[in-house]
Amino acid sequence: MRCPYCQSEDTQVKDSRPAEDGGAIRRRRACPDCGGRFTTFERVQLRDLVVLKRSGRKVPFDRDKLNRSVDIALRKRNVEPERVERAVNGIVRQLESSGENEVPSDEIGLLVMEALKQLDDVAYVRYASVYRNFREAKDFQDVLGELKGEPDAE
């Protein structure tokens, strides 16, 4: 791990413990060159995932991008960060334990929608409007009907 102060690669771990979210390890590190101290958070990655886009392109799975998407849907909504982190961890765990290295982007989108439905209805509708590419007001009405448990009007 590179020191953020002097860029030395010879840092030493002084303390390790599970992070509050349980999905990461918090490490306190010290740099013997400059004496700087800093914290890192490390996650266990079960496998390298590749996202198969609708266009056929393959890109490495990016947990940060997943987190950003969920955060955008939840912007200005009163949802505890711990619940959001648990939801993202759950999605990643499902993807990693699926047994597949290549995951279609549609599958990730469905998992995000399910997680958002549990967290916040408004965030669910926001995400659905982008994920399903809403074109008219009726699309919103259909999703709101789904939330109420009404059968499809189609």
For residue 122, is it within any domain?
Answer: yes
Domain containing 36 equals 12-43
Question: Is the separation of the CB atoms in 116 and 69 below 8 Å?
Answer: no
In a domain, 118, yes or no: yes
Is 6 inside any structural domain?
Answer: no
CA pair distance 41, 49, nearest whole angstrom = 20
* Residue 2 domain flag: no
Looking at the fold, whether 62 and 93 belong to one and the same domain comes out as: yes
Give the pLDDT band (50/70/90) at residue 45. low
Query: 3-state class of 18 per DSSP?
Result: strand
Report how many domains make up the chain.
Answer: 2
Report yes or no on 153 lying in a domain.
Answer: no
Convert the pLDDT of each residue in 63-98 to its tens digit.
999 999 999 999 999 999 999 999 998 999 899 888
- pTM over cut 0.75: no
Q: Are residues 75 and 132 in the same domain?
A: yes
* 21 and 91, same domain (yes or no): no
Residues 54, 86, single domain; the answer is: yes
- Range from 40-44, 129-133, 140-144, 150-154 carrying the lowest mean pLDDT: 150-154
If you average pLDDT over residues 108-122, what whole number do you get?
A: 94
Residues 124 and 81 in one domain: yes
80 Cβ neighbours under 8 A, 6+ residues apart: none
Q: Above 80 in pLDDT, residue 43?
A: no
